[in-house]
Every structure is written in structure tokens, then in C-alpha cells.
Amino acid sequence: MMTIEERLALDKYEVDEESHIALDQAACAQCLHKYCLTVCPAKVYTQSEGQDAISVSHVACLECGTCIVACQGGGLTWNYPTGSMGVVYRYA
């Protein structure tokens, strides 16, 4: 079985320097479930143990929109990457 990193390596990305994902850390701190940490297939959202802040690695985003649906606290702002940035195509 392939790991998530091996699967993500099958996608070609044009990385935008500016993130298309923004988190309201105050709203995220109030969130009890933090579904974004578990539903994202690319593991874009991470939280270090003992930390309130959630980190975002926008470069791995698959643009699937799962995080938008899962976020119940209103702490997530997500837009498609600008222009020709983001996922360009999949190798397999």
C-alpha cells in the first residue's frame, strides 16, 4: 500500500508563494473537534502536541474542498490558487 507522501508525489504542482488557505487561529482554538486535522487527504493541516495553533501546508493541497465542508467553527477561508497555480495534473 502506498503512503500519502507517495500518492502526493504522483501529482504535479505549481506552487504559489501565497497561501490560498487562511485560518482564524482564534476560531480554531475554540473548535472542539478540529475535523480539518483528520479529514484532509493530503494532511495539509497539522497541530503540534500541546499547541493551540494549527499549521497549514498549502503546497500539498489537492483542492478537493473537504476541509471547507468539515470546518464547523468558521475559522477557515479557502479559495482556489491564483491563475495556473496549484494542482496541474496527476501522473496516475
| Each residue's pLDDT tens digit, 44-89 | 999 988 888 999 998 888 888 999 999 988 899 988 887 777 666 6
Spatial distance between the Cα atoms of 80 and 26, rounded to a whole number of angstroms: 23
pLDDT of residue 19: 85
Spatial distance between the Cα atoms of 59 and 41, rounded to a whole number of angstroms: 13
pLDDT of residue 82: 76
Average pLDDT, the chain: 85
* Domain membership flag for residue 17: yes
Angle CA 17–76–31, to nearest 5: 135
* Domain membership flag for residue 3: no
Range of 22's domain?
13-85
Domain count, the chain: 1
